[in-house]
Amino acid sequence: MLPGQITLLEAHGCEPAALRAPASAQALFEEIVRRLDLRPVAPAAWHRFPEPGGYTGFLLLSESHLSIHTFPEHGYAAVDLYCCKARSAPDWRGLLARHLGAREVSIRLVDRGVRAAAEEMP
């Protein structure tokens, strides 16, 4: 089945300042797009929340989407890359360390288009 894979990234131990300034994630998005040869179909959308000042970013891609949600109060960011075409994985840990100061990164790949019954994932 074609419809691709979603990569769920959990970045812990980030610099709170990087999780309050969308410029950090804008640079992260730009590097992901460049390294994976992705094709945005519109400019990224950004929304900053009131204190503690996290933000959401979303980029529509020809290949599906890239999103980030930051939680400066937890030093945590969630990054999702939904890609309906195969891409080799970049060095996610290096990317998230460089742009967000992440010290610990969890990477999960979930295939889309499955027909499994309802289930809970850890």
Q: What is the DSSP letter of 72?
A: G
* Shortest spacing between CB 110 and a copy of itself, in angstroms: 5
Binding residues for a copy of itself, rule: CB under 8 A, are 1-3, 6, 8, 10, 12, 41-42, 45, 47, 49, 56, 58, 60, 62, 64-65, 67, 69, 71, 74, 76, 78, 80, 82, 84, 104, 106-122
Listed residue (98, 45, 47, 103) closest to 74, CA to CA: 103
Taking the least distance from each CB to a copy of itself, the nearer of 29 and 82 is 82
Catalytic site residues?
64, 69, 84
Q: What is the DSSP letter of 40?
A: B
**Bond from prior residue into 52 cis (ω within 30 degrees of 0):** yes
* Shortest spacing between CB 48 and a copy of itself, in angstroms: 10
* Shortest spacing between CB 86 and a copy of itself, in angstroms: 14
C-alpha to C-alpha distance for 59 and 41, rounded to whole angstroms? 8
Taking the least distance from each CB to a copy of itself, the nearer of 17 and 113 is 113
Taking the least distance from each CB to a copy of itself, the nearer of 24 and 76 is 76
Listed residue (92, 85, 75, 97) closest to 32, CA to CA: 92
Query: What backbone torsions phi and psi does residue 7 show, to the nearest 5 degrees?
Result: -100, 120
